[in-house]
Amino acid sequence: MAYAGNLSSPPVVDTMHGKVLGKYVSLEGFVQPVAIFLGVPFAKPPLGTLRFAPPQPTEPWSFVKNVTSYPPMCSQDAVVGKMISDLFTNRKESIPLTFSEDCLYLNIYTPADLTKSTRLPVMVWIHGGSLVMGGASTYDGLALSAHGNVVVVAIQYRLGIWGFFSTGDEHSRGNWGHLDQVAALRWVQDNIVNFGGDPSSVTIFGESAGGESVSVLQVAIAAGCATTTSAVMVNCLHQKTEDELLETTLKLNCPFLPTAIDGVLLPKAPEEILTEKNFSIVPYIVGINKQEFGWLLPLGRGCFFDPFQNVPEDAIPAAIKEYLGGAEDPVKNKDLFVDLIGDVLLAVPSVIVARHHRDAGAPIYMYEFQYHPSFSSDLKPGMVMGDHGDELFSVFGAPFTKGVASGEESRISKMVMKFWGNFAWNGLFWIYCSFYLLTEVDIPTTENISLPAGAGSLMPPADLCL
């Protein structure tokens, strides 16, 4: 039940655990303001015995909980976490960042009139950050919610050693962060109707590790501790403080801990599940950027080069010829090398996933984003076109929340939000006209998969579909 009253009083909404009080924020051009709820708990704080354990339902409360402040981000390297948040945020103002193991909260943005029985599609955002960094509050869902007329929910999940430490057995199966995501989705099912959302129409979307999390959920049915047995090691790690665990992760050359095949969330390797078509057949979008390895990912240095260790030696000359082709211009060689790395790390796996969904009969769409957002121009070289994560400024409407954007950039963002919102409404990744910007991927029945020429370029006449 919602207690919105009039717009001069803040919205109050009932959840299964207690009432929450939010705030209204208006966006220029929209009569109906967006009701915002920040830091809504969806699980108990994962502390003490709940460290390295599945999330548990949050405790109920009897008062009206004020949820108008940003929750702490999950424990991570504070310096890197702040850098990534500052880089990707679509907010104009700087927000205070804190970090804690107590971080299982979500943010809700709803344009619904809470005095009526509105049922809007729901879009649940899973942030990226290699499963070791990031947070929900980096992304302001205000513009996407208003432009798409959808309820946006941004969730948090345990990261790094807290979220993905696994011994490979019953002592610590791992995937705690993914189980947090499942718990957040269950909370949405149980509560979102009172925020004007339709629990039967939920779209999950994410970027980078968030996109990987979407795939995992979709196919899912160095601390100085002795490692003599899993039980001894896990017990030791339980005794460590949050700061001690963070210090441990900072010592690692690459702190990335991958999703584990735990026999619970993932009973088999994802490749096997996809091959067997043993997953939900639902409309699916796979997106890549023009230069995924253009600027941000190289900062990770050796974290992303494992796929290259398995390239057959006799295939290397063919790959060099295909990509570099004897080019002598050093700038051209650099661009071609960036293409090579980006294809191996992201483009090829994306196409493989798309092929499996196509073969299973799912409506599958692909796009390629080609644009250099002005909001990161003071950090990234202008020659980088479509770097890793660059699409987020358009998806979350940075021109409308952060300001100082060109007319072209505003039109592009407005169009992208319409595409995303339209997908949440009816599972179609286009607006009501023929347009080559983002089209249903032409995946023939043969083994060859290619994006249509020019697909995803975000610099055609952007007002065509507006």
pLDDT of residue 307: 61
Catalytic annotation, pick one of 388, 391, 413, 457 = 388
| pLDDT for 457 | 37
- Domain ranges, ordered by start, for the chain: 7-230+237-280, 288-432
Beta partners for 105? 41
Among candidate residues 208, 215, 350, 413, the one labeled active-site is 208
Residue in the block written with tokens 């390239």: 311
pTM of the model: 0.81
Q: What is the pLDDT along the chain (466 residues), one digit of tens a residue?
A: 434 445 678 999 999 999 999 999 999 889 899 999 999 999 999 999 999 999 999 999 999 999 999 999 999 999 989 988 998 999 888 888 899 999 999 999 999 888 888 899 999 999 999 899 999 999 999 999 999 999 999 999 999 999 998 877 777 788 899 999 999 999 999 999 999 999 999 999 999 888 888 888 876 645 565 655 657 656 777 788 888 887 877 766 666 667 888 877 888 888 888 899 888 888 989 888 888 887 777 766 556 566 666 677 777 788 777 777 777 788 788 788 888 888 888 888 888 898 999 899 988 888 888 888 888 777 777 778 888 889 999 999 999 998 778 888 899 999 899 999 999 998 887 644 333 333 344 443 322 222 333 333 332 333 323 2
- Tell whether domain 7-230+237-280 is in CATH 3.30.200.20: no
Q: What is the pLDDT of residue 254?
A: 66
Instruction: Output the pLDDT for position 230.
Output: 58
- How do strand 105-110 and strand 120-126 relate by DSSP bridges? unpaired
Beta strands of 94-245 (E only): which ranges?
99-100, 105-110, 120-126, 151-155, 197-206
Neighbours of 189 (CB within 10 A): 14
Cα of first residue to Cα of last residue in the chain, in angstroms, is 36
- Judged by DSSP in three states, 152 sits in strand
Q: Is 215 a catalytic residue?
A: no
- Among the options 101, 207, 212, 292, which is catalytic? 292
CA 94 to chain centre: 21
Active site residue 292: yes
Distance (Å, whole) CA 73 – CA 140: 14
Burial class (CB in 10 A: 0-12, 13-18, 19+), 6: exposed
Residue 208 bears catalytic tag = yes
